[in-house]
Copies of this chain bind each other. A is one copy, B any other.
Amino acid sequence: MANINKKMVALGTVRSVIREIFEYGNNRAKEIGRENIFDFSLGNPSVPAPEIVDGTIKSLMENMGPVALHGYTSAQGDEKVRIAISEDIKKRFGADVTKDDIYMTCGAAASLTVTLNAIVCEGDEVVAIAPFFPEYRVFAENAGATLAVVPADTEGFRIDFDALEKTLSEKTKAVIINTPNNPTGVVLTPDCIEKLCALLKAKSKEYGHIIYLIADEPYRELVYDDSTEVPYLINCYDASVVCYSFSKSLSLPGERIGYIAIGRNMPDNREIYAAICGAGRALGFVCAPSMMQRVVAECLGKTADIGVYRENRDLLYNSLTEYGFSCVHPDGAFYLFMRSPEEDASAFCERAKKYELLLVPSDSFGCSGYVRISYCVSTDMIKRALPAFKKLAEEYNL
């Protein structure tokens, strides 16, 4: 074996469970036809970007010289773009965020790695709340931290506060939350957020150092009921770092565009921001893609047609519960978290494959006994898949 970084070899060799299922689906589609495969494995937006995206690209190419349009922006992002985003945040959430608190990134993953590399010191722990996006572990460990996991609250898939309190320690540097959540679709209620912030404030005081709250927010805009409120963390907790991405809201996941936002009241605001700039530099980001920075600044408040996801959610949730499956009701994102009718979710997923249903077992999200069903697919595919789900339910006598 080559004398190189073995951790990186392992990270590049081990295929994720989701990717395995996706590849299986592609091979199976070649055998029996794409229309006969019901692939619910990937969290890849199925709704096109709104027309304003391509329209803005065209008008930028017409109205801005290529040297400026495709040229470097400052490392933290184009100033006008940061002004537009900070004003949008102020307008929508009333949060005290200025252009100098925004750092443009290559999407949510970059927002997270930059943030973690900025704040983590040797020996630190970063806390994730199960079920959670598996890459949190990769990002936290690569930044030099240990990931500490709070077991899932299997009642409402919000936060088990007793378990969280047991997980917090002097070593805790940050807690990551993801609301709306991947893989459950659950949105943390204002009450829950309030309780979380109060606990983190008390613990920060007790330990004599700040515990940062990292909000991983690629799904913020994907919420389906007017009654569902998604609190803006910077308004609730001064030491919040919002890691935003336009991947899902504008259906631009491949373009890698997002930002990090902190509030004016972040303790040591300038130092934290400098560390974010430093981490972006050290990781090799230079600047976020220049044209896409301008595009998203013109598309603030716009989204892809998320009505399709709402329709999919209602159709799937209502049908599957009718068939006897037990599902967490998703307030947002595009995932349905369904209880596996047998303890071993992987075994259940294997049985589902017999009906050409491709589901993801929950184990890699740090929580066993469930499956994730991504409904960022065509409504038509869901309709065609329902008889298969029905037969699967019957096999388990639900």
Contact = CB atoms under 8 A, between A and B. Distances in A.
Given A9-B271, A13-B274, A284-B113, A253 B72 contact: yes
A253 B6 CA distance: 32
Interface string A3-21: 1111111111100000000
| Copies of this chain in its oligomeric complex | 2
A278 B119 contact: no
B210 A278 contact: no
A109 interface: yes
Contact of A70 (B4, B65, B66, B253): B253
Given A5-B120, A12-B273, A121-B4, A254 B58 contact: no
> Which 5 A-B pairs have CB atoms at the shortest separation, nearest pair first?
A254-B290, A11-B278, A113-B284, A12-B278, A12-B277
Interface in A260-274: 267-268, 271-274
Interface residues of A, number: 82
Given A61-B54, A71-B253, A283-B283, A10 B278 contact: yes
A49 interface: yes
A32 interface: no
Nearest to A7: B278
B254 A71 contact: yes
A271 B1 contact: yes
A4 B284 contact: no
Contacts of A107: 284, 286
A180 interface: no
A252 interface: yes
Interface string A53-66: 11001100100011
A196 interface: no
23 contacts: A1-B268, A2-B272, A3-B209, A4-B271, A5-B121, A5-B275, A8-B118, A11-B281, A12-B276, A12-B281, A46-B67, A48-B66, A66-B251, A70-B254, A72-B253, A72-B254, A73-B254, A106-B286, A110-B284, A113-B282, A113-B284, A255-B289, A289-B292
